[in-house]
Structure formats: C-alpha cells, structure tokens
Structure 1
C-alpha cells in the first residue's frame, strides 16, 4: 500500500492552485516530484552523488550531476565486457575458448575463482559471466589481458562517443598500490589510482545501446543483458524494488564509493537507473540503503505511469 500511495502522490495533479502570500504556487509535474524525492534522499547522506534516470519509452529523464566524472570501481567491467564481445565478433577469440588458470592469476577482493586450485579451466563465456554476476577480479584480470588492457577498453568507449569513460587499472596493479598505502582511507583520499572513471549519463547511454540491440550486434547485446540479469549483488538498486527484472552491475569501495548501474524491465517498460556515489565516509549500509530508496522511488513512479 505504501508503494501505491507514493506513486499516487507523484502522479496526482493538484485540483486547485495553492496560494502563498496571494501568489499562486506553480504546480510541480509528476516527474518534478519524483526528482524532488530523489534529491531529498541524496541530501540525507553526506556524499557526492551522480544520478541518471531515463525511460526508454517516454524519454523522461532525471539528471542530477549526471555528467560529473566519478570513480566507477567495478562498473567499469561493463565496458570491459563490451570490448570482449567486440573482439569476439572480430574473431580474436571465441566465447567457447578455454582458459587454464595458473598460480599467479588469482586476485583478491570480490569473486570466487581465487579459491580454485591452479589448473581449473573456464571458457571465455564463463569468465565474462563470473566478472559480471559476482564481480570476479581474477576473471577481470584475465579478460583485461585477453583484450589488450585498459587502453583497449578506453579506445572502444571513445569510438562509441563515451569520452569520459576511462578504464584505468587492472586488479593486480590497483591492489598493489592499495597494499602500499598508509591506510585505506588515505589511498582513497589521494585519488591517484582510480580503477575506472565515467559519468552516470555515459554509463546510462551504454546500457541504452545494449537494450536497443546496437551494442556490438543484437545477439551480443542480448547475451550481455542476460549476464547482467544474473547479478547476485542485490543490496542497492534491487533492494526495495519488486515487479521488475533488473540487469545491473555494482561497483564499490565501501564506505567511500558505492555505485550501481542498470535497468528496470517490466511490462514493456525499460528505465535506465545509473547511480554513482563518492566521498562518503559514513556507514556503507546507510549508503546502500539510500541508493535502494532512490531506485524504489523510480520504480514506483514508472509502475503507475500511463
């Protein structure tokens, strides 16, 4: 009932103009009310926020600092996936090609491949799937080597017109600098070793190309979406959202950075939701909760949009 009440509050028009000091108060459109609600949530958390929302059916958009270049963390793995599929299309390697893991391949952080014994074998499709659904850093390291490193990914983004999207690091180098830093917080505050950079709008544009089937080709776009629909980390955009299928990819260096970019898919509707945060030094749980509330507002609004 709360969801319905919120949606109705966003969608309902005022029946009469309110008066304040004898002057009519301009009515807010439903979209403006949604934006105001999102802004209230972002102000409740001390952090840098970038938010981009777009309905692919109606063209309605909300952009809050959406062109600010920010740390991507693991959301940069979406552009890496795109580059891999471009090279697969070009015949550089195949989804069915197999990779045998060696002793030095294992990378810390997210993922499960690091727990496997050397000699384990996976296909390229397996590597891509693991990189997306559990943000596996070992798979990411191997895939970066296969495509030619971060520069190859950045060049691909340039070719797509996404000139603020930069792949900056491979996991092994990023973690090496982190280990050498005086503290985790000092490493973040220095800001000299980003894993990747992008903007909420550019990540949203990349997802729109994927949804429309124009990224690499239609079959590749659909397979990338299928991988993203299998995402296992569901504490941000999907946190409070029901009734939608949600292909998405998280990126985080909590409590400082918490990102999530994806789409809400249901009943012939597709809504881009791209959220970046940074400069956060409070509770990581509170940050994730706020991202979830933003996504819930968006989901509720479009669920009842004619």
Structure 2
C-alpha cells in the first residue's frame, strides 16, 4: 500500500462518520496526511503528554524522589491511586507512569500542580503548539461549568510526539527512551492497536476519552518504519462508535506499514 492509498483510505473512513468531528494527522517522514488537523478538540487525557514532557525537564534530578500529592487533587475517574489503601509512597517517575499507563487522574493532577499550568502551557508554546492549552485540573467539573477546559489539535499532538520520537527535541536520549517505555506500556488498546496482535508492531501511545469524545495519539514502529499518528474525535452519541472509527484508521495504518 502506498502512502497515497493510506491517505485515501483514511479519507473514506472519516467520510463514513459524517455526524462526528474528526481531526487526523499522520506523518511518515516527508509524507503527511492531514484532515481538519487544526480543529480544536477537548483534549481529554492526551493532554497528559505535555505534562510528561514538562516533568522530565523540571524533575530531571528528582524523578525517583518521593512525590507529594495534595489531598485536594485526589480525584476518581481513570486510574487507581484513589482506590488504594494506606499512605503509599510514589516517586515522581511512578506518577508519570501511572498518568500514562492507566491515565491516573490523581497522578496527573499532582504532576500538573508541581509543574504548574503556566509552565506546561509555556512549554507547549515553545514547541510551536500555540493552540493547545491547559486551563483546569482533571475531573474539575466546576471549572468546566465556568468555561475552562483543556484543548488541543491533531497536528499539535504530533508535534509533541516528535519531541519523544525524533532527535534534536527537548528531551535527551535517556529521557526519550524512558518516555517511550512508559508510552509503550499503555493499557488501553481498543483504538489504534485494536485490529492487530502483531508483536512486531510497537505502539507508543496515549488515549483520551470524555462523554462523546475519543482520541488516540501514537508513535507506531514496525521494523525500520516509524509513523506518527493523531486521531481526535468528538460529538459521538455513544461510547463505542468513536473507538471503532479510530480502530479502522489504525487498521489501514497497519496495512500500510506491513505492505
């Protein structure tokens, strides 16, 4: 399958879901496919990637120190920390792992607090991501009611992933290797990776979801090939169709990589 065929297949998939908003950015070296790549979406948990990047920079020599989790930022939703008994000590690296691997909202809030919203937002601007922004903590419904939210675009999510997957970015080699390890242990596999059990295909990704919202953004590697993918979707009427749409795009990407 050529990249042009991949692009046309993705276009057909997007067209088959006319009632939803879908933004796609796929980058393979000099080849790219974009569809509504600058459309602004509620980011859900994929905005945890810039928090991960910021944490490597700000806690460089403290990643294995015991972290402090403010009581007021302990929330439910995704993750496990609120449901664990006892005062368990977590390092900052543990919080980063929990934030990505099981999308733990408490870990994410603690890291966002320690980095500060201003710092993470400035980092995104420094990377050239001027549309993405964080305005609230995770599970802060009062902030949402006040009109505050976290937002991003498909194109800017690919830019953030490139900081991990490409040389010359903001992370050093050791930090990039660790970030890939964490993203590679992602536990949510029902979107981009859903149609394959091929262990030669490696997904380094982060999913996100809210009511009517489903996203998956990834670095996907197969043998010597590497591709960056961001599929952002919203306005779904159920919790299944968006995941199916993203999985279908994931399938044609696998077909492309293995052709």
TM-score by length of 2: 0.92
Please state whether the residue corresponding to 1:52 is helix, strand or coil: strand
Q: Is the 8 A contact 2:184 2:204 kept in 1?
A: yes
Unaligned runs of 5+ in 1: 1-10, 12-29, 182-189
**Aligned position for 2:3:** 31
Return the alpha-carbon distance in structure 2 between the equivalents of residues 61 and 119 of structure 1.
48
The CA deviation at 1:101 is: 4.9
Q: Is the 8 A contact 1:246 1:265 kept in 2?
A: yes
Return the alpha-carbon distance in structure 1 between the equivalents of residues 69 and 209 of structure 2.
26
The CA deviation at 1:105 is: 4.1
Alignment of 1:1-306 (within 5 A): 11=1, 30-45=2-17, 46-56=19-29, 59-89=30-60, 91=61, 94-99=62-67, 101=69, 103-148=71-116, 150-172=117-139, 174-177=140-143, 192-194=147-149, 196-213=150-167, 214-241=169-196, 242=198, 243-254=200-211, 256-280=212-236, 282-304=237-259
Q: Is the 8 A contact 1:100 1:120 kept in 2?
A: no
Return the alpha-carbon distance in structure 2 between the equivalents of residues 176 and 119 of structure 1.
28
**Farther-moved stretch of structure 1 (217-226 vs 134-143):** 217-226
Q: Is the 8 A contact 1:264 1:299 kept in 2?
A: no
**Structure 2 vs 1, CA of residues 78 and 72 (structure 1 numbering), >3 Å: closer, same or farther?**
same
The CA deviation at 1:202 is: 1.1
Return the alpha-carbon distance in structure 2 between the equivalents of residues 116 and 202 of structure 1.
35
Unaligned runs of 5+ in 2: none
Q: Is the 8 A contact 1:103 1:118 kept in 2?
A: no
The CA deviation at 1:217 is: 1.4
Tell which structure's C-alpha radius of gyration is larger. Answer: 1
**Structure 2 vs 1, CA of residues 177 and 168 (structure 1 numbering), >3 Å: closer, same or farther?**
closer
The CA deviation at 1:100 is: 5.1
**Structure 2 vs 1, CA of residues 110 and 300 (structure 1 numbering), >3 Å: closer, same or farther?**
same
Q: Is the 8 A contact 1:101 1:118 kept in 2?
A: no
The CA deviation at 1:104 is: 3.9
List per-residue Cα deviations over 1:265-284 (Å, max 9, x = no partner): 1111111110101122x222
The CA deviation at 1:109 is: 0.6
List per-residue Cα deviations over 1:91-115 (Å, max 9, x = no partner): 5xx1111025565442011000010
TM-score by length of 1: 0.78
The CA deviation at 1:221 is: 1.4
Return the alpha-carbon distance in structure 1 between the equivalents of residues 178 and 111 of structure 2.
17
**Structure 2 vs 1, CA of residues 302 and 50 (structure 1 numbering), >3 Å: closer, same or farther?**
same
Corresponding residue pairs, total? 255
